[in-house]
């Protein structure tokens, strides 16, 4: 899978994409990740301007369509493929695990990050396939949201997670929260690991984990059971 991020702050994204599991998967070629500076595509050779004040008045600045469009066309030229384009915006549908699973099916995603008062509406109608939000709050730009999308999608791609960190039983994959986990020591500060986990009885352990999943989903996230 290939994911491109179009942003005014590529350094901010590169740092995260080069770190930890995603960074390792990127180096190993399990996933292709590219960051593009929209400013490099400004038609203004002197000041590399990418924004201007809004028509009709109002506060702040709006990102102009031309630099974003040129960046988009260059990504198509470089990749020789048409990406599914997502604009990161608090106006989009909220990201869920189901959404991350469906995004994994696209061979090529382009995440467009806005700043200031957003982007010129004409770029949304011309190139954007969908808008995506990471929650009902407003960030200063789309970068942190785009990085959340990359992380959630990349870890679902083949070969990204080590086999030992398989995601199939984890929270949200089956509509439930994950059961509690314990490791050594068996007793810590007088607090013992539940006996059933030391029993070696696989069917009873499965049953206990299922019951724990249901109990904690009901207690912590009753909305998920509805
Ligand atoms: N840009 C600003 N706020 C955002 C949010 N909540 N989700 C996605 N992109 C954003």
Ligand 1 atom index nearest CA of 114: 1
Q: pLDDT by residue (tens digit) across 119-146?
A: 999 999 999 999 999 999 999 999 999 9
Running DSSP on this structure, what letter comes out for residue 220?
H
Q: How many residues does the chain have?
A: 226
Could you tell me which of 86, 134, 140 has the C-alpha nearest to residue 111? Answer: 86
CA distance 62 to 187: 58
Is the pLDDT at 191 greater than 70, yes or no? yes
Q: pLDDT by residue (tens digit) across 68-127?
A: 999 999 999 999 999 999 999 999 999 999 999 999 999 999 999 999 789 999 999 999
Probe target for ligand 1 pocket from 12, 91, 143, 145, with the most ligand atoms within 8 Å of CB:
145
State in Å: Cα 144 to ligand 1 middle: 8
Output the ligand 1 site: residues, CB below 6 A.
88-90, 133-135, 137-139, 142, 145
Instruction: Quote the pLDDT of residue 189.
Output: 98
State in Å: Cα 181 to ligand 1 middle: 32
Residue 12, CA distances (Å) to 49, 56, 225 in order = 20, 33, 38
> Would strands 108-113 and 84-94 be described as parallel, antiparallel, or unpaired?
parallel
Instruction: Quote the pLDDT of residue 187.
Output: 98
Nearest-CA residue for atom 2 of ligand 1:
139
């Amino acid at each position: 899978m290939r994911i491109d991020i179009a942003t005014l702050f590529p350094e901010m994204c590169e740092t995260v994409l080069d770190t930890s599991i995603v960074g390792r998967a990127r180096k190993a070629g399990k996933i292709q990740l590219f960051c593009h500076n929209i400013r490099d595509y400004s038609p203004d050779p002197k000041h590399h301007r990418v924004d201007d004040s809004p028509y009709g008045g109002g506060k702040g600045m709006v990102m102009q369509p031309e630099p974003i469009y040129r960046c988009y066309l260059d990504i198509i030229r470089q990749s020789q493929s048409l990406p599914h384009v997502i604009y990161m915006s608090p106006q989009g549908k909220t990201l869920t695990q189901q959404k991350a699973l469906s995004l994994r099916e696209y061979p090529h995603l382009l995440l467009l990050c806005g700043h200031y008062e957003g982007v010129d509406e004409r770029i949304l109608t011309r190139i954007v396939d969908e808008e995506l939000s990471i929650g009902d709050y407003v960030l200063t730009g789309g970068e942190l949201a785009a990085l959340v999308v990359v992380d959630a999608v990349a870890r679902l791609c083949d070969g990204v997670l080590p086999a030992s960190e398989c995601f199939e039983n984890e929270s949200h994959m089956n509509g439930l929260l994950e059961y509690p986990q314990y490791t050594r020591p068996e007793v810590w500060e007088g607090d013992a690991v539940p006996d059933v986990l030391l029993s070696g009885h696989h069917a009873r352990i499965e049953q206990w984990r299922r019951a724990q999943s249901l109990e904690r989903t009901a207690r912590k996230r009753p909305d998920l059971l509805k």
